[in-house]
Each structure stands twice: as C-alpha cells, then as structure tokens.
Structure 1
Amino acid sequence: MKNLTKYIIYSLILGLVVGLGMNIFAPDLFGPVDKYFFAPLGDIFLRLIQMMVIPIVFISIVLGTANIGDPKKLGRIGGKTILFFLLSTAVAITIAMALAFIVQPGEPGLLDEEAANFESSEAPSVVDTLVNIIPTNPIEAMQSGEMLQIIFFAIFIGFGLAMLTKKTDRIYRLFEQGNELVMYLIMIVMYTAPFGAFGLIASAVGGAGIGAIKSMAAYFFVVLFALILHAIITYGAVVKFVAKKSPWWFFKNFAPAMSVAFGTASSGATLPVSMKTAQERLGVRKSVSSFVQPLGATINMDGTAIMQGVATVFIAQVYAVDLSFTQLMTALLIAILASIGTAGVPGVGLIMLAMVLDQVGLPVEAIGLILGVDRLLDMTRTAVNITGDATCALFVSETEKDIEKNKPSISDEA
C-alpha cells in the first residue's frame, strides 16, 4: 500500500505537469489527446471503482449493523455520527464565510456574461429527502444508485440478522464471505489507480488552464485555505483530544485514501479505499467503519459546505450585495441541510450551491464565474469530505471500545 500511495502521488504530479504543459504550449493538441487518452484513462478507473461501491456499501452496512447488534448501541453510535457530521459541517461553513469576509475575494465588475452560463437543477426539499429514504423497491434503489435508500435497507437487514442470530447464521456467513470477496476485488482495482489518477488530473488541469486559475485566484485560494484549515484544526482537534491519537499519525496513515479522493473527486468512488485504509491503517473497528463511513459518504459534505460558504459571499461581493445576518444564517442552515442526500459524485456541489443562492436572493447564473476552477477545488474538497468521515469513524471507534464485547458472534452460536 505504501508503494501504491507513492505511485499515485507521482502520477498526480505528472498529470499536473503534463496537463498544464499541454494547455500552455500545445492547446490545440490537448483536445484530441484528452478525448482519446486522458479522459478514457480516468473514466476506466472511475468505472472500475464505482462498480464496487454499491456492493461494498450494502454488504458492509449489513455486517456493521449486525455486529453492533444491540439497538441501544446502534442508536448511540448513529446519534454520535449524525451529531458529528452536522456540527463539523456547521464549523466548516462558518470558517469559510469568515475567511471570505476577511479576504474579500469578490470584486464588483468581475462578472462576465459569457462566464455566467449555468443552468441550475432543482434540488429536492429536505422533507422529500427524508421521506424518500425508505425505498419502495430496494432492487431498483441499487440499480439507480440511491445511496440513502440502500443504506436504510442495509441497516434494516442488518438489524434483522442481529435479532435472529442462530436462525440466520448461514445468511450472515454469506455476507462475511461476500465482504472478503469485495475487499479482494478492490485490492485488484487499486493497482490501476496511478493510471486513473494521471488521466483525471491531466484532463482537469489541462481543461481549466492557468488562465482560469489566475482570474479566480483569490476565490480559489480562499476555498483552498479554508479546506486545509478545517482539516488540520477541526479534524486534528477531534483526533487529538477526543480520539486521543496523534493528528500527524492520522493524516500520514490516511494519505492513500486522500490521494485517491483527490484524483477521483468522488466520495462514493473512494469509499472502498477509505474504508480499507481506516480499518487497516487507523485501527478503526470494522463494525464502526462499515456503518459510519458509507453513511458519511452520503450525508457528510464539509468540503462542499466550505465551497458553498465562500462562493455565496464571493458572489454577493461581485454583485455588491450586503448580506444580512438573517441571510447568512439562512445560507448556513440550507448548506447544512442540503448536504443530506447529496450524491458523492463530481460536480454535485454546484447544484446544491444553486439552492443556497436562490434562498438568499442571489442570481444563480453567477455560478458560471466559478466553473473554470471548480473541478480542481472539487478534487480537494472530496479529500476533505472523506477525511471527515474517517475522523468520525475513529472518534466513534475510540469512544465505543466495548462495542463488540459481551456479544457472541452469530457464527459462534451455531
């Protein structure tokens, strides 16, 4: 795994150099090379790893819930997890807005009619999201990738396995064997990660170019600094003072998953790797990791909340609009709630941002201003998102050390 991490990092650096170099010195050549080489290389890796997401989410949550067993412990762990996600998201967007007001990256007159070209999609209401958590057809939910519905059904099955114990021993063993198979297949897929990372970063950087970064430098670096600050201070504090571990140890050991997240810009696609890394390198209990991290990949979007916070203030500054305290609180609340049910795929944060802007009375078409650099920021905020999931998993695992004690395994009772 250590060598693989090095190869992924080397590939990201090489992709950055090649993509930026082609954008500057051979822009005409970049288009066909990207179409027939960079993009397919990245897409193949993404499709391979996305192929494993649904199986590992379903199997791992079933096993995680079954292993926790006790409804009281399950409720306590679920409560800790959701509370952590909500609080960390609130802290993230607060940091983002504070930095945006201090630095003031937006300048009136920056708006370009051609740049402001973004068609918003209507985001589902919070009520609809909560109701739709319960699937009417679990198979259809898996087919369409409805993660919240899959998680709900998996928890339901896991709870049943925990209650029935001996009667469902063979089914439990089947899930255990399925988990072993899925983890082995993930290990095989991960050997293609360096190639996929190269293709993805070369395509993203080559498409954006240095010009887009220069024109949006202030916004770009405020978001980037807020992401780094949140990861180091917020997550570092939880690791240090709650989980009683070294933050340096945490970030060093979780680096492989963070590098994959940066390359894919997808929390869902990175989930198999982040779970494997958390369990093997951070020592997170499998039952906790299997429950917390898939849930986090669906509802915990601190990086996305940071982007929404900075972008809202940035766009208000571009239009010379003074946001009231009520509007700021509305933006904060909407950004937190919008993270629930947000799909862990590239670019979805822009749809959620449209929802926030609409609620505070800012023009949605101004999102076009940040499109040029959003792909690069999307990669960074995805790394922050999955780091938050791992932090929560470590925190829960360290504060629930008796989670699997005094509970005989289902297979042992046969």
Structure 2
Amino acid sequence: MNLSVKIFISLVLSVVVGLIAGEAGLPFIKWWIAPIGTMFINLIKMMIVPVVFFSLVVGITSLGDTKKLGRIGLKTVGIYLFTTAIAITIGFVIAGIIGPGVGADFVAGAQPKVKEAPYIMQVLLDMIPSNPIDSMAKAAILPTIVFALFIGVGIVKVGGERAELLIKFFDAGAEVCYKVIAIVMDLAPIGVFCLLLPVVAANGPKVLLPLLTVIVCVAVGCIIHAVGVYSTMARVFGNHSPIDFFRGMSEQMMIAFTTCSSAAALPVNMKNCQEKLGVKREIASFVLPLGATLNMDGTALYMGVCTLFVANVYGVPLGFEQMMMVVLTGTLASIGTAGVPGAGLIMLAMVLQSVGLPLEGLALVAGIDRVLDMFRTCVNITGDGAVAVVVNASEEGK
C-alpha cells in the first residue's frame, strides 16, 4: 500500500477513534498515545538541520557557478513573493463571498499571548549568524541557510582536489540524511495517528461549529490556490500534469497537514521532489529550504480570510486601500517567519495592527488555529514544490 494512503487511513482512524473516545478517554490518550506522536515529530526535527546544511552545500557546489546561484536565487524569491500576494488576494475574495463573521453575536475572549513580530531589519540582522553552531543547535533555519551558502561558495572558490574532498564528504552526508528520512517516514502512519488523536478527543466537533465559516473559507481558498495556481505553474512552466504533480507531493502534503510544520515536512519534500518530480538536487537543495522560511502562501491566504473575519465581527469596514495594505504587509511579513506551528498568529498580529483592527480579534481564531494551520501549512510546502519544479524547468539546458 502506498505510504500516503496509509497516512490518510491513519488520519481518518484518528478522527473516528477521537470522536468515540471523547473527553472521557483523554487522560489515557494524553498519557500513552500523545508521547508517541511527539517522538515521531522529534525524529523528523532531528533531521531538519542536517539535511538543510548538507543538501544546501551540495546544491551550491553542484551549481559550480556563483552567477548561476544568483540567477536561481532571484527567480526563486520573485516567484515566492508573487504567489504570496496572489494567495492573500484569493483569501479576500473567498471571505468576501462567504462572509465569515457577518452577524456574529459573540465577543472576543482573552487576547492570546503572541510574540511581537520582528521588523524587517531585525530579520535581516538575524539572518547572519554570529555563531553558526549555536544557530544550528537552536534549529534556526535562516541563519543555517546563510552559513551553508557561504560554505558552499567557499568550496567552489577553493576548487581543485581539496574542494573535491569536501564535496564528496557533504554529498555522502546528504545521502545518509535521505536514508534516515526514509526510515522515519516508514513510521509516519503511526506518528500521524498519535498526533491527531489527542486533538480530536479534546475538541470534538463542537470546536469547529462556531467558526465553521472561517474554516470553510480557508479550506476552499487553499484548494483553489493549490489547484488553480500551483498545478497550473507545474503544467505550464514545469511540464508536469496536475495528477503527476500532486502524486509526487502527496506524502509531504500529508505530513505538513498533520504536523502543521513546514520545517517538519522539509526533509520529505526534498527527497520526493528529486525522486518523484525529477527536480535536480542542486535546485531542490536551494529552493526548498529557502521556501520553508520565505514561502508562506497558505499563511498569507489565512491572513486575508481572518482579517476580513475580524473586521466583520467588530463591524469595521475595510476599504480598498486597507486591503492593499494587508496584501503588502502580509507579503513582507512572510519573509523570515519560521515554518513552525503557530507562526501564523505572529503574522496575523502584524497585519491586524497595520490596518487598525483590534488585536483582541486574535482570540477569535486562536481556538481553531490548529485546524487552520493544517490547511495553510499543507499549501505552504506544496508551493515550495511547485516553485522547485518551475525553477528546475527554467534551468534546463543552462
């Protein structure tokens, strides 16, 4: 049986068992089942920094040309920012049609604790690691990417036998990472079941009902963006049919959906984009780690929906200028936002503040943020794969 099918079956089973068990079975689930899910997440996290570092160095040395690196970098970042702006716009359109929060008679609860969003210069400052080993220990992806870029460029500049020795070392390290990831992925169905079961048992169907319109908006928007934008990009620019593209992305999409972490899905994404979608290693090793940090299309779409939802609940009309401000702020806020669960609330806080909406509105979506996070994270990593396919096709013959 295909691994993605096994994962989907375990997802369905977790919902069924969770609804049957309910709160009565929650103590047993939290004590005996949830830790197994945490172990699975830790196994994936264990490989994030090694696979990013080794693969990115291999990617840079495989390019063998710093000019080619700059060309690919500009393409990648440009496409990421463009699709992010489209995603926010889709979120606004869907929310405008469905009208989440219109006529709602509930009031925002306590404001959730949200870390203050970093300003753009702080993001740029944090990109340069003063201690790269410390950055790796903290699993800070962006500084690790920058360090790996410099190491890769340095190896290219050195050249000769000494460079070949290092290239073989990093290439072997990357292969070992891929083998370990394959072992971990065999455990994915068990991990997914153990991750979702506590969430369903604790919340049940009631948590979804009051804010069902928001969930519907985000889900519909994410499907439209994935099918309408990504599969079109893969077909027109990457020579992959939508069926081939989504088949190649299915495993990492399920991992992202269940873990709510772009970083957790990154190792699987790097492996499958090369093996199933034919993306060259040097392209995948550069585009995908960068996308896990920069590309937040699903989160951007979620921000468009939630901003309009909060505005509807509080009766604050949003004009065209304010909507454009949300698009601009959301696109810029996506830069440097860590691909970990809950990062969307940081970005949403920045966006609400930019258009003068009350931050108390965060409390309205905080309760269902875990559900929304599933959809937006799935779209985030799907976008990474689509851009990798497009950039890979554009570099053919160069």
Quick check: 364-373 or 211-220, which moved more?
A: 364-373
The Cα offsets for residues 328-377 of structure 1, whole Å up to 9 and x where unpaired, read as 11111111111111111111111111111111111112211112222122
Task: Measure, in 2, the Cα distance between the counterparts of 1:29 and 1:16.
Answer: 13
Shift of 1:71: 1.6
Task: Measure, in 1, the Cα distance between the counterparts of 2:120 and 2:142.
Answer: 13
Partner of 2:281: 286
Q: What is the DSSP-based 3-state SS (H/G/I as helix, E as strand, rest coil) of the residue aligned with 1:288?
A: helix
Task: Measure, in 1, the Cα distance between the counterparts of 2:88 and 2:130.
Answer: 34
Partner of 2:61: 66
Is 1:33 matched up with 2:32? no
Do the aligned partners of 2:215 and 2:371 also contact (CA within 8 Å) in 1?
no
Do the aligned partners of 1:208 and 1:373 also contact (CA within 8 Å) in 2?
no
Q: How many residues align?
A: 397
From 148, 152, 169, the equivalent of 2:164 is 169
- In structure 2, give the amino acid aligned to 1:28: A
Shift of 1:88: 0.4
Partner of 1:44: 39
Partner of 1:408: none
Is 1:99 matched up with 2:98? no
Partner of 1:135: 129
Q: What is the DSSP-based 3-state SS (H/G/I as helix, E as strand, rest coil) of the residue aligned with 1:97?
A: helix
Partner of 2:222: 227
Do the aligned partners of 2:25 and 2:201 also contact (CA within 8 Å) in 1?
no
Q: What is the DSSP-based 3-state SS (H/G/I as helix, E as strand, rest coil) of the residue aligned with 1:215?
A: coil
The Cα offsets for residues 111-133 of structure 1, whole Å up to 9 and x where unpaired, read as 335x4431222110011111221
Partner of 2:372: 377
Partner of 1:411: none
- In structure 1, give the amino acid aligned to 2:303: Q
The Cα offsets for residues 146-170 of structure 1, whole Å up to 9 and x where unpaired, read as 2111101101111111222213221
Partner of 1:21: 20
**TM-score scaled by length of structure 1:** 0.93
From 122, 134, 144, the equivalent of 2:138 is 144
- In structure 2, give the amino acid aligned to 1:348: A
Task: Measure, in 1, the Cα distance between the counterparts of 2:331 and 2:198.
Answer: 31
Partner of 2:339: 344
From 316, 323, 327, the equivalent of 2:322 is 327
Task: Measure, in 2, the Cα distance between the counterparts of 1:37 and 1:267.
Answer: 26
The Cα offsets for residues 37-68 of structure 1, whole Å up to 9 and x where unpaired, read as 33212111000100000000111111111111
Using the aligned pairs only, state the percent identity: 45
Shift of 1:109: 4.2
Shift of 1:108: 4.1
The Cα offsets for residues 383-413 of structure 1, whole Å up to 9 and x where unpaired, read as 111110000000011110135xxxxxxxxxx
Task: Measure, in 2, the Cα distance between the counterparts of 1:107 and 1:206.
Answer: 30
TM alignment of 1:352-391, pairs within 5 A: 352-391=347-386
Partner of 1:11: 10
Is 1:251 matched up with 2:229? no
TM alignment of 1:209-224, pairs within 5 A: 209-224=204-219
Alpha-carbon RMSD: 1.3
TM alignment of 1:80-119, pairs within 5 A: 80-113=75-108, 115-119=109-113
- In structure 1, give the amino acid aligned to 2:25: L
Quick check: 268-277 or 165-174, which moved more?
A: 165-174
Task: Measure, in 2, the Cα distance between the counterparts of 1:116 and 1:94.
Answer: 29
Task: Measure, in 2, the Cα distance between the counterparts of 1:308 and 1:352.
Answer: 8
Q: Which runs of 5+ in 1 are unaligned?
A: 404-414
Do the aligned partners of 2:298 and 2:380 also contact (CA within 8 Å) in 1?
yes
Partner of 2:270: 275
- In structure 2, give the amino acid aligned to 1:395: V
Partner of 2:150: 156
- In structure 2, give the amino acid aligned to 1:399: S
Quick check: 211-220 or 363-372, which moved more?
A: 363-372
**TM-score scaled by length of structure 2:** 0.97
- In structure 1, give the amino acid aligned to 2:140: E
